[in-house]
Amino acid sequence: MLVNLQTILKDAYEKGYAVPAFNVYNMETVKGVIEAAEEKRSPVIMQFYSRLATTGVSDYLLPVMLAAANKATVPVCIHLDHGSGFPAAAIAVRNGASGIMVDFSTLPLEENIANTEKAVKLCAALGIGVEGEIGHIGSAAEGVSEDYTTVEEATEFVKRTGVSALAIMVGTAHGRYKKAPKLAIERIREIRNAVKTPLVLHGGSGVPDDLIKAAINAGICKINFGTDLCYSFLDAVFAVDRKIYAIDLFMKEPIEAVKKFALGKIELLGSEGRV
Ligand code: 13P
């Protein structure tokens, strides 16, 4: 069943586990994720990058995601990831998203707050929770910044914007890490103690299991996985026997690979058996 962002994160926040948020791109990645969530009785967030909204892909993808969510017997949130601005958020809402992230983290703090607050107010009228970002989580290719989100920034941001989820910069980045990431676990704990809003860890791909567990223990409630899901799918595509040309049959193994990837992360995040 389709649920909104604030609903899916509430249980995780109260019980101390994290909901996996998988970036999906097509029907096959949606299928792999949903099959894993159903098998493990886990809530799940399926999210799509802003580019898919602004290039029109989400006009096709969101109906598929909605069909999967409505058919599922576990809670599913359909979430815009790193919304680049109000146009992307509007398209995502029109397409049926039940969660919206707006990412104004590269703007000065006051502008980030003002824009995020505006998105929160607009989405509140529709019952849709908003994820904001404070401290910029960049790409691993450019090196991981140590400019961690401070307790003061997080407190101010949450108080003034009213976001339903807060992405913080605590040592992760998007994409493949050049060297093993270090996570600011104590900073997560301090922010968790200061703000009563579910915290989000971006850049989950390549973060060692023990650090993921420590982050959840310190207060993270949503963890994003993009890059490694893509590779699980693409590696399987390249391995399929080229004699298979019926596309539905060709895609069986790639779907299985995504499912296997998602099953592992669900176990790791402790979201298994929660529904
Ligand atoms: P990775 O691609 O590094 O897993 O990050 C995903 C993410 O954080 C999406 O917002």
In a domain, 45, yes or no: yes
pLDDT for the residue 180: 87
Pair type for strands 76-83 and 19-23: unpaired
Tell me whether residue 81 is one of the annotated catalytic residues: yes
The pLDDT tens digits for 166-186 are 999 999 999 999 988 999 999
Q: How far is the CA of 246 from the centre of ligand 1 (A)?
A: 31
Tell which residue, 130, 8, 16, has the closest CA to residue 69: 8
pLDDT for the residue 147: 93
Q: What's the pTM?
A: 0.98
The pLDDT tens digits for 234-250 are 999 999 999 999 999 99
In a domain, 60, yes or no: yes
Beta-strand ranges (E) seen in 16-105 are 19-23, 44-49, 76-83, 99-102
In a domain, 34, yes or no: yes
Count CB neighbours of 78 within 10 A: 27
Q: How far is the CA of 138 from the centre of ligand 1 (A)?
A: 10
In a domain, 275, yes or no: no
| Total number of domains in the chain | 1
In a domain, 239, yes or no: yes
pLDDT (mean) for 94-113: 97
Q: Provide, rounded to the nearest whole percent, the portion of the chain with pLDDT above 70.
A: 100
The pLDDT tens digits for 203-237 are 999 999 999 999 999 999 999 999 999 999 999 99
In a domain, 274, yes or no: no
Atom of ligand 1 nearest to the CA of 227: 2
Measuring from each residue's beta carbon to the nearest atom of ligand 1, which residues come in under 6 Å? 23, 81-82, 174-175, 202-205, 224-228
- End-to-end, the C-alpha distance of the chain in Å comes to 11
The pLDDT tens digits for 66-81 are 999 999 999 999 999 9
Q: Could you list the residue range(s) of the whole structural domain that residue 242 is in?
A: 5-269
Residue 30 φ/ψ, nearest 5 degrees: -60, -45
Question: Which CATH number covers residue 247?
Answer: 3.20.20.70
pLDDT (mean) for 114-140: 96
pLDDT for the residue 252: 98
